[in-house]
């Protein structure tokens, strides 16, 4: 969970920087787009070489997985605020802070929440992957590895069902939170 929260928070900040600043997007955006093309599991050898097989590797790997979708969706949400909204804010003589708080952030929130949902999905998949590929002793991925090594099909099926059930629960929790945060949109339409 720590990795998902860390990656999502840093991704939110970086995505906001790219969304608000054309200069930052021109200078940092290309490097980010190269970074996001690197397959997730390509990071495992590098992280284990630097940090060993431990909790730091797991948290960093999961953070990287959450970071990418959060950046892309936050940046897109900020950049896609309708010009009409901005024009209304200017017509009402809103200050920069008011424009940010009352116009830009509410308009970008749905995209950022989608990024959060994708970040949690990516984090969950990364958690399973790193626990399966790197010899962690505890975790759902280790259940799968144990079942595979001892050819226990019942353990493998249990692990697969557990992964699906937990993923469904996590996704449902994010959906409930998103609906609560966005209920003002339904009441205003």
The pLDDT tens digits of the residues spanning 73-83 come to 999 999 999 88
Return the higher-pLDDT residue of 142 and 30: 30
Judge whether residue 118 has pLDDT over 80. yes
First-residue to last-residue Cα distance in the chain: 35
Among candidate residues 46, 61, 52, the one with its CA nearest the CA of residue 141: 61
Among candidate residues 158, 112, 159, the one with its CA nearest the CA of residue 18: 112
Provide the pLDDT for residue 73.
95
> Given pLDDT bands bounded at 50, 70 and 90, which one contains residue 60?
very high
Judge whether residue 9 has pLDDT over 90. yes
pTM: 0.79
Which alpha helices (H) appear in 80-182, and where do they start and end?
Answer: 83-91, 96-99, 105-133, 140-149, 153-181
- Mean pLDDT of all residues in 55-67: 91
Percent of the chain with pLDDT over 90: 32
- Mean pLDDT of all residues in 138-162: 82
């Amino acid at each position: 969970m720590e990795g998902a929260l860390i990656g999502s928070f840093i991704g939110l900040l970086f995505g906001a920087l790219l969304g608000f600043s054309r200069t930052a997007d021109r200078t940092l955006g290309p490097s980010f787009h190269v970074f996001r093309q690197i397959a997730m599991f390509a990071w495992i050898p590098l992280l284990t070489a630097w940090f060993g097989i431990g909790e730091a590797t797991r948290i960093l790997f999961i953070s990287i997985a959450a970071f990418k979708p959060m950046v892309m969706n936050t940046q897109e949400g900020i950049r896609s605020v309708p010009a009409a909204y901005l024009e209304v804010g200017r017509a009402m003589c809103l200050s920069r802070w008011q424009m940010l708080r009352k116009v830009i952030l509410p308009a970008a929130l749905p995209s950022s929440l989608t990024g959060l949902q994708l970040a949690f999905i990516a984090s969950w998949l990364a958690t399973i992957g790193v626990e399966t590929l790197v010899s962690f002793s505890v975790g759902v991925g280790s259940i799968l590895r144990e079942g595979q090594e001892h050819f226990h099909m019942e353990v493998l099926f249990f692990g697969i069902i557990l992964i699906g059930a937990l993923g469904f629960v996590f996704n449902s929790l994010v959906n409930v939170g998103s609906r609560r945060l966005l209920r003002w949109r339904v009441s205003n339409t």
